[in-house]
Amino acid sequence: MHQELARAIADEAQRLGLAVPSESTQRLAAYAASLWSWNERLNLTRHTDVEKFVSRDVADAVAIAPHLAANEHVLDVGTGGGVPGVILAILRPDLRVELCDSVAKKAKAVREIVAESGLAIPVHEGAAQGIVIKAATGKNRFDTLVVRAVAPLIKLLGWFEPLCESYSRLLVIKGPRWEDEKGEARHKGFVKKVTVRRIAAWPIRGSDNESVLLEIRRRAPKP
């Protein structure tokens, strides 16, 4: 159905040296087509061509994927149009991915996008904190919360540091100012219960900057 778009995505991924399984390109094309269609009605993404979709959205998911263990339960916080959660679910079918957004119209739109893409990904409407707390016990506990382009680090830690016992870790995609944001968060006392460390970096195509992946975990209790 989206053969031409799938070929274009595959070609762009190959040009950029991104490891995208051939069996994923058709679903990526279906997702991109639906996302771009919905974007005409609701502002969900600025990446509305193959080059930007692959070099930014797919590239971010490809960078995160190796840091997720088999069968992890993942929540995409503030998913917007579904990035990176939907793409992670396509690239790594073993993962248990769920999406959430506090903006009702975005959550409803991404629920439709997921359905139109032929995927079975739960989409939650509401603040991620409540979703995390509700799932904190038993088999539905989230292993990883993934966050991209949602808020400054100090705000993220204000939301999630108090809940650090309710999930295993945060993976946060940040840009070149991440060290300044970390310093501000430390100054405000937001890293007393958690550690923040950079675990990966990759170039932002078309610029001299890079994206980084920060892992935020609960500090080990002192003996």
Write out the two tokens for 17.
Answer: 């040296």
* Cβ–Cβ < 8 Å for 181, 174: yes
At residue 149 the predicted structure's pLDDT band, cuts being 50, 70 and 90, is confident
Write out the two tokens for 94.
Answer: 């073993």
State what percent of residues in the chain have pLDDT above 90.
Answer: 81
How high is the mean pLDDT of the chain? 94
Question: Which residues, other chains included, contact 5 with Cβ-Cβ below 8 Å and sequence gap of 6+?
Answer: 29, 32, 33, 50
State what percent of residues in the chain have pLDDT above 70.
Answer: 99
Q: Average pLDDT, stretch 157-162?
A: 93
Identify the H or E element spanning 153.
helix 153-160
Q: What distances in angstroms separate CA 33 from CA 1, 30, 78, 197, one per listed residue?
A: 10, 5, 21, 36
Q: What is the pLDDT of residues 178-205, one digit of tens each?
A: 999 999 998 888 888 899 999 999 988 8
pLDDT at 151 over 70: yes
Q: What is the pLDDT of residues 69-117, one digit of tens each?
A: 999 999 999 999 999 999 999 999 999 999 999 999 999 999 999 999 9
At residue 134 the predicted structure's pLDDT band, cuts being 50, 70 and 90, is very high
Annotate 172-197 with b (16+ C-beta within 10 A) or e (fewer): bbbeeebeebbeebeeeebbeebebe
At residue 139 the predicted structure's pLDDT band, cuts being 50, 70 and 90, is confident
Pairwise CA distance, residues 102 & 61, whole Å: 22
Q: Average pLDDT, stretch 36-49?
A: 91
- Domain at 56-218, CATH class: alpha beta
- Crossing angle, helix 3-16 and helix 25-39, to 10 degrees? 110
Closest CA to 196 of 150, 98, 180, 204: 180
pTM over 0.85: yes
Identify the H or E element spanning 111.
helix 104-116
At residue 223 the predicted structure's pLDDT band, cuts being 50, 70 and 90, is low
Domain layout of the chain by residue ranges? 56-218
How many CA atoms within 13 Å lie on the side-chain side of 185?
25
* Cβ–Cβ < 8 Å for 216, 170: yes
